[in-house]
Amino acid sequence: MPSKLKILLAVCVVSSGVFSASMDAFAARNKATQPAKVAETDPRGEVLALSCAGCHGTDGKSSGIIPSVYGKTPDYIETALKDFKSGVRYSTVMGRHAKGYSDEEIHLIAQYFGTIWGKNK
């Protein structure tokens, strides 16, 4: 690990030094709770998908020329993103974005937007 981040980590740890004992407790608690994500939104999918709303609108609901993502199926979104990424589908900017995500991340984004309209009624 480069020194820059080491310094950053050191600063973080120092600033919360008194709580170092809680670190192990957190790690243990975290291990036990990690796989439980059936009912709640996948936090990683959520973070990945929130970025899309900047151009495509909140929850993917676009009000202008940029296409809505809201209301599309997970399969449609996943296929579109993979086709933008490979260049099979023409785009001005989406290809440049889609290349920033792994197939797994594209799957998570598609799941998020593809199911949000069921949850958000």
CA distance 69 to 56: 7
Long-range residue pairs from 79-86, CB within 8 A, at least 24 positions apart, any chain: 81/106, 81/109, 81/110, 82/106
Q: Is 97 in the site for other proteins (CB under 8 A)?
A: yes
Q: Which residue of 26, 28, 71, 75 would you call a contact of other proteins, by CB under 8 A? A: 26
User: Measured in Å, how far apart are the chain's first and last C-alpha atoms?
Assistant: 46
Q: Is 16 in the site for other proteins (CB under 8 A)?
A: yes
Q: Is 9 in the site for other proteins (CB under 8 A)?
A: yes
Q: Is 121 in the site for other proteins (CB under 8 A)?
A: no
Site for other proteins in 57-96 (CB under 8 A): 57-58, 62-66, 92-93, 96
